[in-house]
A = this chain, B = another copy of it.
Amino acid sequence: MRTMTDTEKTAAAINQSVELSEEQLRQAIELLFFAYRDFTGEADAILDEYEFGRAHHRVVYFIGRNPEVTVTQLLAILKITKQSLARVLGQLIDEGFVEQRTDAADRRRRLLALTPKGMELDKQLTKRQSLRIAGAYLAAGPQAISGFRQILRGLINAEDRERVDGFFTDIGSDISPKGT
Residues of A within 8 A of B (CB): 13-15, 17-39, 58, 61, 65, 79, 126, 129-130, 132-157, 160, 163-164, 166-167, 174-178, 180
**Smallest CB-CB A-B distances: 10 pairs:** A147-B147, A136-B154, A144-B147, A148-B151, A17-B177, A35-B155, A17-B142, A31-B152, A25-B130, A140-B150
A50 CB to nearest chain B CB (Å)? 19
Known A36-B32, A148-B152, A155-B35; judge A24-B175 contact (CB<8 A): yes
Distance to closest chain B CB from A147 (angstroms): 2
Shortest CB-to-CB span from A34 to chain B, Å, is 5
- Give 15 A-B contacts (CB < 8 Å), ordered by A residue: A14-B138, A14-B141, A20-B134, A20-B137, A25-B126, A25-B129, A28-B149, A31-B152, A31-B153, A136-B150, A136-B152, A136-B155, A140-B151, A145-B147, A148-B150
- Given A26-B130, A34-B152: 20 more A-B contacts, CB < 8 Å: A17-B142, A17-B145, A18-B176, A18-B178, A21-B174, A24-B175, A29-B133, A31-B152, A31-B153, A34-B160, A35-B152, A35-B155, A38-B155, A139-B150, A144-B150, A144-B151, A145-B151, A146-B147, A147-B150, A148-B150
How many copies of this kind of chain does the complex include? Answer: 2
Complex formed: what's the CA distance from A167 to B22 in Å?
A: 12
Q: Contact at B32–A152, with CB atoms within 8 Å?
A: yes
Q: Which residues of B contact A176 (CB under 8 A)?
A: 18
